[in-house]
Amino acid sequence: MKKKVLVLTGGGDCPGLNAVIRGIVKRAAQTEDWEVIGSIQSFDGVLREPTEIMELTEKRVSGIHFQGGTILGTTNKGGPLAWPVKENDGTWSFIDRSDEMIRKLKQMGVEAVISIGGDGSQRISQALFEKGLNVIGVPKTIDNDLSATDYTFGYQTAVQIATEAVDRLVTTAASHNRVIILEVMGRDAGWIALSSALAGGAEVCLIPEIPYDLNKVLGVINKRFKDGKGHVIIVIAEGAKPMEGDVLARESDEVGRANLKLGGVADKLLKDLKAAGCDADMRETVLGHLQRGGVPIAFDRILATQFGVKAMELALEGEFGKMVAYQHPSIVAVPFLEAISKYNIIKPDSSLVKTARGIGMCLGN
């Protein structure tokens, strides 16, 4: 009987997930004694009765690398450590089903698990690894906020999409003499915002790492209109906050979802600017989930394929408890504990910030 490696995708979807899956399967197909199966919707497929498992053959993964999303489905709620159970009174409680799941995986003949996910998934992987499960991690985030890896797949595609949005908004803003505010994703990191602002040529970019002064933003708008360049593009990260004030976030009402929901910063900025006396025409665009879908660009497909092949090779070598990472120009493996200990946020002295200031972009301070 062939040895089995189980693949699953967890957390929000991200362009390049399918390219990772294909990389794993194609690498496994070159061995004599390994086969790949996938768990539907993260670990849920294993935990459900009956189990929901997909056989991943070379034929099944042919051509999937240029599709967005994940053929395995995903979820950013629950998980084996906190499985939601509905009580008789209608409330929810959470139970730890990890031991049961590890037993089940053993019965299924799974020798290795490759978990593709964000920091939440990597934390689950570390807990399962400590319980003896042979887990390998593949980082996934469009936000580029993991410090163990130079880049994560999905990020460049998100930046490209946000940049094309800026390109379009510039022509509308210029034609109508408007201020247009574009809200992009990124959680607590401003990478997507600052990169798309730079690439697209926005006048103002507000990121979580630099709390902004509303008066500075207003100053830029007034100066641009006074100078006769009657339009302004502002790119704002969903996690940006004013100097006086906090991040706009709300608890999710979805069962088992740990992360706060961000968003609404563009709307708040528009209202605050109006209240502060800005009389220009203003419009807002919230890019939302357009940033997570669609065809991954070449950069992300290549990185994702490299991650997939490397993850399968770690399984072949029996190197568990590690996450694959890109450290230019190599693909390396770092222990989970190291990988999840540090976030990658924009440093104020980084070349990206210096470049933005160098071409006269206002970062709100």
Partner 1 sequence: MKQRILIVNSGGDCPGMNAVIRAIVKRASRELDWEIIGSVNGFDGFLAEPLEIMPLTEDIVEGIHIHGGTILTTNNKRNPFCYPVKQEDGTILNKDVSDKLIYNLKVFGFDGMIHIGGNQSHKISLKLAQKGVNIIGIPKTINNDLASTDYSFGFQTAAQLATEAVDKLVTTASSHNRVLILEVMGRDAGWIALHAAVAGGADVCLIPEIPFSMDKVIKKLKSRYSTDGRGFANIVVAEGAHFKDEKGATVSGNIASRITAALKGINFEADIRETILGHLQRGGTPNAFDRILATELGVKAFELVKEKKFGTMAIHKNSELAHINLSEVIDKYNKVDLSHNLIHTAKGVGISFGD
Q: Which residues bind partner 1 (CB under 8 A)?
A: 22-23, 26-27, 29-30, 63, 65-66, 150, 156, 159-160, 162-163, 167, 170, 195-196, 198-201, 297-299, 301-302, 305-306, 309-310, 312-313, 328-331, 350-352, 354-355, 358-360
Minimum gap (Å) between residue 76 Cβ and partner 1: 26
Minimum gap (Å) between residue 165 Cβ and partner 1: 11
Q: Which is nearer to partner 1, 108 or 174 (CB)?
A: 174
Burial annotation 215-248 (CB, 10 A radius, 16+ → b, else e): eebeebbeebbeeeebbbbbbbbbbbbbeeeebb
Minimum gap (Å) between residue 330 Cβ and partner 1: 6
Minimum gap (Å) between residue 297 Cβ and partner 1: 6
List Cβ neighbours of 12 (8 Å cut-off, separation of 6 or more).
Answer: 74, 76, 118, 142, 292
Nearest alpha-carbon partner for 285 in 206, 187, 183, 159: 183
Nearest alpha-carbon partner for 17 in 122, 193, 142: 142
Minimum gap (Å) between residue 204 Cβ and partner 1: 15
Minimum gap (Å) between residue 106 Cβ and partner 1: 28
Q: Which is nearer to partner 1, 61 or 262 (CB)?
A: 61
Name the strand (E) or helix (H) holding 98: helix 98-107
Cis preceding linkage at 348, omega within 30:
no
E-strand ranges in the chain read 3-9, 34-39, 53-56, 83-86, 92-95, 110-117, 135-139, 178-184, 204-206, 232-237, 249-250, 261-262, 281-286, 322-327, 330-335
DSSP string of 162-202, one letter each residue: HHHHHHHHHHHHHHHTEEEEEEE--TT--HHHHHHHHHHT-
Q: Which is nearer to partner 1, 170 or 247 (CB)?
A: 170
Give the alpha-carbon dihedral of 34, 37, 38, 40, to 10 degrees.
Answer: -160
List Cβ neighbours of 3 (8 Å cut-off, separation of 6 or more).
Answer: 33, 34, 35, 109, 111, 112
Q: Which is nearer to partner 1, 31 or 285 (CB)?
A: 31
Whether residue 353 contacts residue 363, with contact meaning beta carbons closer than 8 Å, is answered with yes
Q: Which is nearer to partner 1, 94 or 299 (CB)?
A: 299
d(C-alpha 308, C-alpha 7), whole Å: 10
Of 143, 150, 253, 281, catalytic = 143
Q: Which is nearer to partner 1, 229 or 289 (CB)?
A: 229
Is 272 among the residues known to form the active site? no
List Cβ neighbours of 351 (8 Å cut-off, separation of 6 or more).
Answer: none
Minimum gap (Å) between residue 358 Cβ and partner 1: 4
d(C-alpha 43, C-alpha 139), whole Å: 16
Q: Which is nearer to partner 1, 65 or 187 (CB)?
A: 65
Residues serving a catalytic function are 143
